[in-house]
Structure 1
């Protein structure tokens, strides 16, 4: 099949408003838009101005009315508890109505904010949809976040209600949520009026009626059967706030609107991911992240798909074959996860023996995003799964892919290391620090031409000026992605690193991502990270960290020397790549991003804060000790705040 990409992208370029007007016909509107795009509204313009709709209606009600009510909307698979349950569209609609009735009884109205702080359980997803039904604005905070981080989000959103659970489950331990919620409310200047707590059998906690803490299941059971209509909202009204860590320590509240969000997400399902209504689509992520919002909850439901809600890990629940079990048991057609998950699986099962235990013949494609996909991981996944492995690139701020090889439009030739070409809606340039375009193949700042398409953030929550300053001012006429990369002669985009991961070694701008690519080629290396550390002579020099595959018995110093030699051979002596260290695990966020910035601060003896999103705080201790033994960091920690 020849790709239709160029025809479709050309149609968007020729008539952007006409392109999105056509895409918007797939959505049910209560009132049609007055204008498809109004450049005078908002910070850089707004999409579908004057239109009214409701996201929950488009996700549930219209499918049930169209006869899709008995199709599975969600499959819940908890590798932590062994629970498996399927929910039809009609069943989800009934549950969402009941939760919406509870929220309405607790005083939640259109525009009110509700913080959801829950594990990966169906009730969390249903609560998101219940907020959307009422026109309330949900803000999901990853379950288990530190109390002070939760408090900051309560303050910024001025939430009227918290929905939480008694606990979350991690391999080998139960994480109590209630004490974290209590502490956050104590710290918050703006305190929610009520709390709804889902009691899980692994930990039942006492609730205090005087503090307006209510049992989630009891309240919902009492409201079951009540009919709650969808509240019409403007297309430009906010659907949710999703907080990302800000460089100032103040979290950034990324706002997503109702209309543009639905139009863009629904367009991606058949065109980018290549899935049809009724098929099973699985994004192995968490609703605390943007992938969970976009591709566990909203996009699959908008398109009439069955989505998988998975509670577990790629390894350790119980082994590195759990993903293949879920794909096989549920006949998943398209699978989406993070590269870090595959690196963990490859580390534990380097030969892919556990893949052979499951029938994956129904799987058509694997999509990977969330962190740079190194070519070695891509090749391993292709060899073991025998399906197209599609790297794609986007951000919390964009809400949907910016660069991808679109399955539904017909795949283009692959280039390892590149997520392929920019999608309709986006125009990308690569510029130097002064904003001037750089030649093809030259490393620079990746920027997106304004206006951003539907589905992207219109602003930060109650912070238009902060949005302008941090995202739009440095490169006028563009949105700053804060990623660095190149565009080659064929128009393929290579996203090499965050701009703060570009190091200046003796006047040469070098990408740590390109060095990591070389490190990952070593047959004994499962994962790697390269950071730049201060050097009195060269300004900065690269420092590599390796995680070896299980069962490697060779001397680590020998492997480190070989990796250093590979980098010098492939990138050149200019890289000054001499320092290579082996660690048991890399410090990562719970979403799988390696904490390179924090590692660099430790190496340079700068003050650093234990990230609230860190998965395992002990990994940073190991990095600090390893750096100290190699003459970089001081033995004492300069940490300024504890992890949660």
Structure 2
């Protein structure tokens, strides 16, 4: 691990802020352009300016064609590992390119052209990657909706994106159950006011479905016919500022917020990050254990590794239960992955099931160098456990759907900085991260405030929301003039490290004291019997809000829950003092989470406050909310 003085970070970061155009022009040399940018940054374009104005490019060409032409044709591009179907499938760069050329030709036969939208409602199968790249190849704009999303949520996205074509599958597979996609798709199309011209359906053998005559087409039949006819679609040139995809932020109500990602900025930023941030070299095996329905899956299952000439693992399974808490170590060992990126919640699940790390010792992890965590705050006890078990650096980093890549992290390729548990480390090049008060004035080091990013945002970040420029400005740019509002709260320390302590909504006001739920969760998680936890503010007639902690105990803990709850209350009083007014800890069997692993704190809070709540569209397991309701009875 490099010490701070040996890292190139400070010099590189300073250069990115002093002359951003020169910095990103240099990074852009790693991309194959059809025509170079007329302006690296044009402040007159868009809502806050646009990167690589006038440049012409093709994202699919940069992901596949150029590698096939330059000697990587026979290298593995994609490894699909599915313990749920007991199958592993590998695609070389040449094989993946052939599949993409063929599917892009099929799309062209359906009249899909540059700028048309295409929705993907798919499980974690290689065909989903092929479909995303095929859209990019012909300049169509893809919008991936997480497979198994409720029909109403899918319908709202169909109405907003107005897709010409929808890709879907007969089913998704979860441990112990099949999720029928086709009835959800049919219902969504029925209630949507916009109708796609056609749906292309992948029939999975675990549960085939009936096709609707005149609208639905069998994916494998179309593929077979196109291959027999020798059909192949070329790359279509698009502007760097043209949209590559729309990704709707999860759990939205009303008209959904469609985050727009452009072609040029995305190419440059994500390619730059693969070595400089993640320390991965072309030709190495990289695993991002996300889902293609989330931004992390877009950037680091599909696009980033392929731009970089690496091998990407796509995993259809879970951290535990497919078959056990050693699933991750089996994948890393079998495919010789050098780096792995997942959510902290996955590690908390593994730690709960295998607290001693016995399963880790069964696998050869000698090639494994670095673990990256993101998605929600990586609590120090989980990071410390992972460091002790894996004996590799564990890097927390922080970013958002809107940014498309890391805002703050620890740049392995530039030379790691010292790790501070609880901090995602420092802003990445291009991001001027400030902590401000309600009047947009920067606050001193160590002072809690709103985390904001100085405009313009670096390449790769959203230029706007899909057909909602006014809403983009109102939601992100108006509250703190000259800044992008992250809606996260935290502080920067004297070394410039960023500390993200929770969403702005998660900072609770206890009798006039602003307290971070993230800080309290750290204390709860430090208790030896606690596997994971959530702290949120619940209504209190006198203090306004008081904190309430929810605890999930480690597997094998036999002590009485009320005894542990009393210890937790005493621990918070000892570490934070009486000001926290922490008096209530509730043991539960599990916490409600989204499918990407985020704890649904807002829903738990509404239940505790006795307010009306609705079932979140993104929830992984709806029955957990019944368990939370039962645990709250008589306690609040």
Instruction: Say if 2:233 is the partner of 1:228.
Output: yes
Alignment length (residue pairs): 630
Instruction: Say if 2:198 is the partner of 1:206.
Output: no
SS in 1 for 2:79: strand
8 Å contact 1:246–1:252 — kept in the other structure? no
Select the residue among 580, 591, 596 that pairs with 2:596. 591
Map of 1:621 onto structure 2: 626
Map of 2:387 onto structure 1: 382
Report the RMSD for the aligned CA atoms in angstroms: 0.8
TM superposition shift of 1:628: 2.4
Change (3 A) 1:35 1:246: farther
Instruction: Say if 2:266 is the partner of 1:239.
Output: no
Map of 2:412 onto structure 1: 407
Map of 2:191 onto structure 1: 187
Select the residue among 574, 580, 586 that pairs with 1:581. 586
Map of 2:541 onto structure 1: 536
SS in 2 for 1:67: coil
8 Å contact 2:148–2:172 — kept in the other structure? yes
Aligned runs of 1:481-560 on 2, under 5 Å?
A: 481-560=486-565
CA shift digits 1:493-515 (9 cap, x unpaired) = 11000000000000000000000
Map of 2:92 onto structure 1: 88
CA shift digits 1:110-157 (9 cap, x unpaired) = 000000001000000100000000100000000000000000000000
Instruction: Say if 2:433 is the partner of 1:424.
Output: no
Unaligned runs of 5+ in 1: 633-644
TM superposition shift of 1:221: 1.3
Select the residue among 301, 318, 321 that pairs with 1:316. 321
TM superposition shift of 1:434: 2.4
Structure-2 separation of matches of 1:460 and 1:586: 32
Map of 1:24 onto structure 2: 28
TM superposition shift of 1:227: 2.2
CA shift digits 1:341-380 (9 cap, x unpaired) = 0000000001000000000010000000000000000000
Change (3 A) 1:246 1:252: farther
CA shift digits 1:90-126 (9 cap, x unpaired) = 0000000111011111111100000000100000010
TM superposition shift of 1:439: 1.6
Aligned runs of 1:122-133 on 2, under 5 Å?
A: 122-133=126-137
Map of 1:439 onto structure 2: 444
TM superposition shift of 1:246: 6.2
Instruction: Say if 2:54 is the partner of 1:50.
Output: yes
CA shift digits 1:565-624 (9 cap, x unpaired) = 111111111001010000001000000000011111111122222110000111112112
Which shows bigger deviation, 3-12 or 342-351?
3-12
Structure-2 separation of matches of 1:103 and 1:347: 46
CA shift digits 1:22-54 (9 cap, x unpaired) = 000110111111000000100000000000000
TM-score, length of structure 1 as denominator length: 0.97
8 Å contact 1:113–1:138 — kept in the other structure? yes
Structure-2 separation of matches of 1:532 and 1:624: 16
CA shift digits 1:538-584 (9 cap, x unpaired) = 00000000000011100000001101111111111100101000000
Instruction: Say if 2:315 is the partner of 1:307.
Output: no
SS in 2 for 1:403: strand
8 Å contact 2:120–2:145 — kept in the other structure? yes
Structure-2 separation of matches of 1:444 and 1:566: 26
Structure-1 separation of matches of 2:445 and 2:314: 42
Map of 2:71 onto structure 1: 67
Map of 1:294 onto structure 2: 299
Map of 1:636 onto structure 2: none
TM-score, length of structure 2 as denominator length: 0.98
TM superposition shift of 1:248: 4.6
SS in 2 for 1:407: coil
